[in-house]
Amino acid sequence: MLYFSRAKTIGILLLCGLGILLSLPNLSARPGFWPGFLPWNQVHLGLDLRGGSYLLLQIDTSAIVKQDLNSLVDETRQTLVHAQLGYTGLHADPAKDAVVLHPLDGQTQQDLTALQKLISYAPGATSPSVAIAQQPDGSIAISIPQATQAARNAQAVQQAITIIQRRIDGSGVLNATIQRQGQNQIVVQLPGISDPERVKTLIGTTAHLTFQMVDANAAPGPIAPLGDEVLPMASNPSQSMDVYSTVAVDGASLENAQASTDPQSGEWVVNFTLNALGARQFADITTANVGKLFAIVLDGKIIEAPVIREPITGGSGQISGNFTAQSATDLALLLRAGALPAPLNIVEEQSVGPELGADAIRAGAMALGLGFVLVLAFMGTFYGLFGWFANVALVMNLVLMLAILSVMGATLTLPGMAGILLTLGMAVDANVLINERVREEVKNGRKPLAALEAGYKRAYGTIIDSNVTTLLAHVTLFIFGSPPVRGFAVTICAGIITTMFTATVLVRLITGRWYISRRPAALPV
Amino acid sequence: MFYRPMFRFVPDGTKIRFMNGRFAGLIVSAVLSTASIILFFAPGLNLGLDFRGGVVLQVQTPQTANFPALRAALAEAGLKDAALQTFGSGGNGVLISLESRDSAAATQTSIQEAETALNQVAPGSKILSTQAIGAAVSQQLFAQGLEALGLSFVMILAYIWFRFEWQFAVGAVATLVLDTTKTIGFMVLTRIPFDLVTIAAILTIIGYSTNDKVVVYDRVRENLRKYKSMPLRELIDLSINETLNRTLGTSGTVFLAALPLALFGGNALSGFAWIMLFGIVVGTSSSIFIAAPILLFLGEHRLRRSAAMPKTATS
């Protein structure tokens, strides 16, 4: 048991060396001589240790469905008008994910034939864009198949991620990670930011900009006439204005937006330029409506509604609305980055300001360090030399766990560190078992070498059984648990495996070397 | 200190008759676990943010926080459900908790309202941290967690059955279930919040406790082969005594590791650490006073014969 072949010894030492190499990235920056084939992965520090924000966003899929159905209503109307067919009761039915219409008497077949044009296949898609079916009550339902809607939602999430990335990059926050989670959720992690509220606004704003004409003839009141909508003012939500529902120019036509101060008033404004299509629409609408009010609408709120003094044909304009330097800069950034495909809701949020960190971390680190030292001191006093051998293995165990967690890119929080410390506290159990066995064998009158051999051999059965039982329990937790429990189970499993290696193999190697060099007459047990 | 051991917990050849206390152990355990289950239903666990949903703001006021004024300002802002609590030692750390809102947008509005109210009462206050979690997410997490825990108990049962005998497996898992219920009872009494961190603590305890039971059982199995005619009761006592130094040694190290965390670890660690300390005491004593008596009752006649049979056949 105590004899190791040269190859095995080298193998064990190489494994330890590899562990040290892989855990080094946690201590310093990447040096120039680090070979390219070796990974340079660090354990990530959790929010509680470095401050920052964690946001779990959920995309509002019902808004996407609503948008899609509304544009489907438009397409259906155009198709039928183009085919010179009449219809009644065309409307979107969100409950059925469908657009419903009643054909005129005897025209059902012609309608169905004409509507076939709506069916198309997106590149690579297996389900059609819409499915058309005649209902029992004689109406025609044009529905969006589930698979198509799911693909649309997935696309929207992807698009939202790209836009969030652009907004965050533009705001100067470094090292943000943005990931998709599940079907329609996005996780945003922002390490070390000092103003979480600002970033939250930047991410959570849909930023859908439209230009709409104000309906000056509408009677004031909460109910809008047909074709109009009542929108609140951004500066004072209790005031509102009637605007035409038809969008004159959409923010999607924006090419650029910059914040600057107006040379005359000295106020902060946002200057924008439109692309060719937008510039033409803008020129048309302003030429036709000189002297009328023109509303600039952001996410359903009117930022301002200036009077059109003269036709604007250059494709550029200015938005002013009591901005501060910060809000003008942020609006320009939002407009440049583009609108989100659908509103995002913040489902979960965790923000830790920079002030919290220091004290909590100091207390935590001190307690963790003290705990580790106490474990080492206990082993040393309780088992003497063999206890110190176990302590060497324990430090190595910590290094190996750190290496595994680094390679996995795990996130370490303060409680996570406590978990690791306790895993280490339990890891010495293997050495306790071995030392107690060796002691028993010595009491039974065996010679040192025989006592060591028998002690290790007998303790192994127990170590394997107790560790495998715990390992199996945590593997089960990993397979069936929810994500946070899984992360914990992985850490414990990694700990059990490194423990089996350091507490048995490594300690045995050290003990064997010690025995061969000293040949003691009695064991220190 | 560096070469020879300095001390032992119990001298060699200790012969404590643990099985004399088998009824006392089981009765105390049954009472404690029943009480814990009652406590679980009323008043129930102090659910942490992870499972309850809601908002917690950790703020620091420039001077000692004026609670009545702050509470009035929050109620004024429409946040009647706001609960206030101090944290830290300076008297200027305040935890503001709000119940979960119907929608994500409403949650964000509430956070802003709370911040505005805070700055009216105590201008210059700093928001140290914000945490908001929807209630829907948490229910799902909870159910899934319980299911996973149940399955892992089944796995432990199967493995111990396979490696030992069914009496051992039933004894170990029954004891684990009792240990877990007591931990829940402890959490109800201490009002330590039940969240993902404390769940991790419970899982760590279950791991520790399993380990401890298997070690004692392993020695019982070994002695069953070694002493063919010894009555099971004496044999279990002998096995526990033989492993007593290891039991106290291992529980001692884990206890020492957790103790500083409970005393000095601060808000983030103390709940976790207190549960660990409680679990170590329960897990260690239950190996001796619960798992071993169950084995004794279940195996009094059966184990002796089944373990002795193969030996007689070979010798």
Summarize pLDDT for B298-310 with one digit per residue, the tens: 988 777 654 444 4
The pLDDT score that the predictor gives to residue B89 is 66
Query: In this model, does residue B137 exceed pLDDT 70?
Result: no
Contact list, B60 vs chain A (CB under 8 Å): 355
Q: What residues 54-73 of chain B have any CB closer than 8 A to a CB of chain A?
A: 58, 60
Q: Who has greater pLDDT, A351 or B153?
A: B153
Looking at residue A356, what is its pLDDT? 66
Report the candidate in A301, A170, A198 with the shortest Cα–Cα distance to residue A240: A301
For range A356-380, the mean pLDDT = 87
Q: Which 3-state string (H, E, C) describes A86-131? A: CEEEEEEEHHHCEEEEEECCCCHHHHHHHHHHHCCCCCCCCCCCCE
pLDDT at B312 over 80: no
For the segment A319-342, the average pLDDT, to the nearest whole number, is: 86
Residue A150 has φ and ψ, to the nearest 5°, of -60, -40
Rounded to the nearest angstrom, the minimum Cα separation between A102 and chain B is: 37
State yes or no: pLDDT of A391 exceeds 50. yes
- The pLDDT-based confidence of B136 (bands split at 50, 70, 90) is low
On whether the CB atoms of residues B148 and A486 are closer than 8 A, the answer is: no
Nearest to A396 by CA among A514, A500, A512, A498: A498
Q: Which CATH class is domain A6-27+37-51+356-518?
A: mainly alpha
pLDDT value for A13: 94
> What pLDDT, on the 0 to 100 scale, is given for residue B308?
44
Closest Cα in chain A, distance from residue B38 (Å) = 26
* The architecture CATH gives domain B18-47+137-314: Up-down Bundle (1.20)
Interface mutation target, options B206, B243, B255, B256, chain A, most CBs of A under 10 Å: B256
Q: What is the pLDDT of residue B256?
A: 94
DSSP B193: -
CATH number of the structural domain B54-133: 3.30.70.3400
Instruction: Kindly report, residue by residue over A393-404, the tens digit of the pLDDT.
Output: 999 999 999 999
* Window from A221-230, A388-397, B222-231 with minimum mean pLDDT: A221-230
**Mean pLDDT over residues A515-521, rounded?**
89
Q: Which residue ranges make up each domain of chain B? A: 18-47+137-314, 54-133
- The per-residue pLDDT for B309 is 45
pLDDT digits (tens, 9 = 90+) for A239-250: 888 888 888 888
Structure tokens at B137: 């997410």
Please state whether beta strands A344-352 and B54-60 pair in parallel, antiparallel, or not at all (unpaired).
Answer: unpaired
Q: Which value does ipTM take for this structure?
A: 0.84
Asked whether the beta carbons of residue A204 and residue B108 sit closer than 8 angstroms, the reply is: yes
- Can you tell me whether residue A207 is helix, strand or coil? coil
pLDDT, average across residues B266-270: 81
B193 close to A (CB below 8 A):
no
Q: What is the 3-state secondary structure (H, E, C) of A46-61?
A: CHHHHCEEEEEEEECH
Distances in Å between the Cα of A210 and the Cα atoms of A34, A163, A234, A303, A322 are 53, 18, 14, 10, 19
Q: Are A337 and A163 in contact (CB under 8 A)?
A: yes
A172: left (phi over 0), alpha (psi -120 to 50) or beta: left
Rounded to the nearest integer, the mean pLDDT of chain B is: 86
Q: Tokens for A46? A: 């959790």
Q: Is B243 near chain A, with CB under 8 Å?
A: yes
- CB proximity A394 to B under 8 Å: no
- The overall average pLDDT reported for chain A is 86
Residues A209 and A296: beta-carbon distance below 8 Å: yes
Distance CA B86, CA B99 (A): 18
Whether pLDDT at B292 is above 90: yes
- pLDDT tens digits, A452-463: 999 999 999 899
Rounded CA gap, A130 and A524, in Å? Answer: 82
Domain ranges of chain A: 6-27+37-51+356-518, 52-188, 205-351
Q: Does the pLDDT value for residue A226 go beyond 50? A: yes
DSSP secondary-structure letter at A83? T
Q: Cα dist. A353→A54, A170, A337, A511 in Å?
A: 12, 21, 27, 49
Q: How confident is the model at residue B314 (pLDDT cuts 50, 70, 90)?
A: very low
- Closest chain B CA to residue A467: B211
Q: What's the rounded mean pLDDT across residues A96-110? A: 84
pLDDT band at A442 (very low <50, low <70, confident <90, very high): very high
Place B25 in a pLDDT band, splitting at 50, 70 and 90: very high
CA dist., res. A446 & res. A454, Å (int): 9
Measured between beta carbons, the chain B residues lying within 8 angstroms of A470 are 207, 210-211
Interface touch A429/B211, C-beta < 8 Å: yes
| Residue B241 scores a pLDDT above 80 | yes
Interface test with A, best of B96, B245, B254, B255 (most A CBs within 10 A): B254
Instruction: Write out chain A residues lying below 8 Å of B252, CB-based.
Output: 378, 382
pLDDT over 70 for what percent of chain A?
Answer: 98
Which pLDDT belongs to residue B253? 94
- The enclosing H or E element of A522 equals none
If you measure CA to CA, which chain B residue comes closest to A478? B148
Question: What CA–CA distance (Å, rounded) separates A180 from A58?
Answer: 10
- Candidates 3.40.190.10, 3.40.50.11030, 3.30.1360.200, 3.20.20.60; CATH matching A205-351: 3.30.1360.200
Any CB–CB contact under 8 A between A392 and chain B? Answer: no
The residue ranking higher by pLDDT, B45 or B188, is: B188
Above 50 in pLDDT, residue A281? yes
DSSP state of A205: -
Burial class (CB in 10 A: 0-12, 13-18, 19+), B59: buried
Instruction: State whether A480 and B148 contact (CB < 8 Å).
Output: yes
DSSP state of B102: S
Q: Which long-range contacts (CB under 8 A, 24 or more apart) does A386-392 make?
A: A386/A431, A386/A434, A386/A435, A386/A438, A386/A511, A386/A524, A386/A525, A387/A431, A387/A435, A387/B5, A388/B2, A389/A431, A389/A507, A389/A510, A389/A511, A389/A514, A390/A428, A390/A431, A390/A435, A390/A503, A390/A507, A392/A506, A392/A507, A392/A510
